Amino acid sequence: MEWLRRCSFYRGLLAAGLAVGLLVLAPGPASAQRVERVVDGDTIIVSGVGRVRLIGVDTPESVDPRRPVEFFGKEAGAFTKRLVEGRRVRLEYDWERADRYGRTLAYVYLPDGTFVNAEIIRQGYGHAYTRFPFKYLGRFRQFEREARAAGRGLWGATPGAERRVVASAAPSGRPAVSDPPAALARWDDNGNGRITCAEARRHGIAPVPRGHPAYRYMRDGDGDGIVCE
């Protein structure tokens, strides 16, 4: 009988341990925290949490010292700042809690229910980030399509101050105008918001270097600053 009691005791400990482990690993909401600072359009600093990268949204670069400020980067950062800085937010997690840089990955909600990640895309200040799966992927893609169709934010006409000429890697050597909406209309044949190497070669702009207007809409897998080399 003694060994039965001991077995029951250890089985109970094991079950309790598994339950605690599942609670730790399972995605779920966190209590409301205050946003201390907005780093850029898709990254914020949250009290008690640290640096938080918004899941499923990618805004133009504006603070990376290794890269130039991208089209609409400052506008995207300002939009997120107006939306959340100094306010209390609720975080919700998905299947992955942190990225390789140690940033917490989260969906961010305001007290009135505004879904911040989605709102950035809906208003045209960012793209749906589709490199990794997440539970709102389909919705975010739809929000991006709607923003593009309505010409919101970066999908609208390029402000005169933002127009600039950059060196193109096209065989012709002709300069290209940094105008993302026009670039998409010209090079994004399948209309999905991204430019593939096949499309780049078809239009004579490959290889595409960092700084070329098409680069922002492509995937530089090895991070060497040149796509489709």
Q: Which of 53, 122, 148, 216 is catalytic?
A: 53
Contact 215, 209 (CB under 8 A): yes
For residues 116 and 82, what is the distance between their CA atoms, to the nearest angstrom? Answer: 11
Closest CA to 228 of 180, 144, 164, 171: 171
- Catalytic: 88? no
Contact 70, 216 (CB under 8 A): yes
- Catalytic: 103? yes
Which secondary structure element, helix H or strand E, spans residue 165, and what is its range? strand 165-166
Q: List beta partners, residue 98.
A: 104
Contact 226, 168 (CB under 8 A): no
Q: Which of 51, 103, 139, 141 is catalytic?
A: 103
Q: Give SS3 for 194.
A: coil
Cβ–Cβ contacts within 10 Å for residue 39, how many? 17
- Catalytic: 11? no
| N-term to C-term CA, the chain | 73
Annotated active-site positions, please? Answer: 53, 61, 103
